[in-house]
Amino acid sequence: MHVVAATGRDDLARVYIAQAGPGRHVEFVESVQPPLPREKKWVLVVSCLFGCPFSCRMCDAGGKYQGKLSREEIDFQIDYPVRKRFPNGVIPSEKFKIQFARMGEPALNPAVLEAIAALPGRLKAPGLIVSLSTIAPAGCGEFFQRLLEVKESFRPGAFQFQFSLHSSDEQKRRELIPAPTWSFAEMAAYGRRFFRSGDRKVTLNFALAEGYPLDAGALLSWFDPACFLVKITPVNPTVRARENGLRPVFDGKRRDGETAERLRRAGYEVIVSIGELEENAIGSNCGQFVRSFLARGADARPGESYSYGLEALAAGD
Ligand code: SF4
């Protein structure tokens, strides 16, 4: 595995593409949260699959599935930025978060469990926090059971877990995520097992798009605010979202305070995450950069290095 392209800015987000063989590309990201320096907070987002067998309507990673990453290939996406930023291998960041949330549904790859389990012993990172985000595919019960066991080796609060819901209406969710997944009842039951005292609550993530409701009452009937929190983000302007006519309910200019307020009144802790608008230009939304890279015929020139300017990505090239 080697890095064949990179874009972005050191003071916000850098997206890398790594190649493991012909047609096998993944993207991974390192980011900081201005104005915090890297020593305060540093976030890595790593891929778990080459592409993804699912085709969520807002995600550029879907389709063209080329298989699972090996444990070594997952480790590479962590070790590469660590070596680059902290050559002595000591990661001083007070909060060093590694998100298994990028290209590919993590629950489809058992090597993700091996990679996560090894992290506390492998990295010199006192601020380590792991986060895993999933659509909760059906048939992955063994993965999720083992995840509960792996979590036990992390201190309370150092392992975060997120279900990507996107709507409180299960039927509408199936339109956005056309894959067999757990029901809300199954997710609620698992979340209750996952959450322990001292943990961050299990996150219910909503990338809100017009026509896909987030109703506090509907959510309450399944998810207890004592162990679930709600995170609202705008649906990102990916190629797939545009093709599918998904329009954000809110963005940096239009903030959706009402939805957040209703959820808070229902008892939920709510995080509204607009993100840095420039991240869209950088292409750090899932699958955006690798899609752009492959559209340029990168496979025809293996081994060559690429570095695209922000302007090109902002122009939607
Ligand atoms: S959102 Fe996740 S599960 Fe859906 S296509 Fe993208 S990577 Fe796959």
Q: Quickly count: other Cβ atoms within 10 Å of residue 57's Cβ.
A: 20
- Cβ atoms of 170 and 183 closer than 8 Å: yes
Q: Which residues contact 80 (CB under 8 A, 6 or more apart)?
A: 3, 16, 18, 28
Residue nearest atom 4 of ligand 1, based on CA coordinates: 56
Which residue from 105, 174, 181, 244 has its CB within 8 A of the most atoms of ligand 1, so it is best to mutate? Answer: 105
Distance (Å, whole) CA 162 – CA 228: 9
- Which pair of structure tokens corresponds to residue 73? 């290939």
pLDDT of residue 311: 28
Confirm or reject: Cβ of 140 under 6 Å from ligand 1.
Answer: no
Token duo for residue 24: 């096998």
Two tokens, residue 254: 């239009």
| Grouped pLDDT means (10 residues each) for the chain, 317 residues | 92 92 90 94 96 91 88 97 96 97 92 97 96 97 98 94 96 95 98 95 94 95 97 86 85 71 96 64 58 60 33 27
Q: What residue owns the CA closest to ligand 1's atom 2?
A: 105
Q: What is the pLDDT of residue 304?
A: 30
Q: Tell me, what's the pLDDT at 312?
A: 29
Predicted pLDDT at 63: 75
Q: 13 in ligand 1 pocket by Cβ < 6 Å?
A: no
Structural domains in the chain plus CATH codes: 2-300 (3.20.20.70)
Distance CA 153, CA 151 (A): 5
Tokens (6 digits) for 75:
């480790």
Contact call for residues 44 and 28 (beta carbons, < 8 A): yes
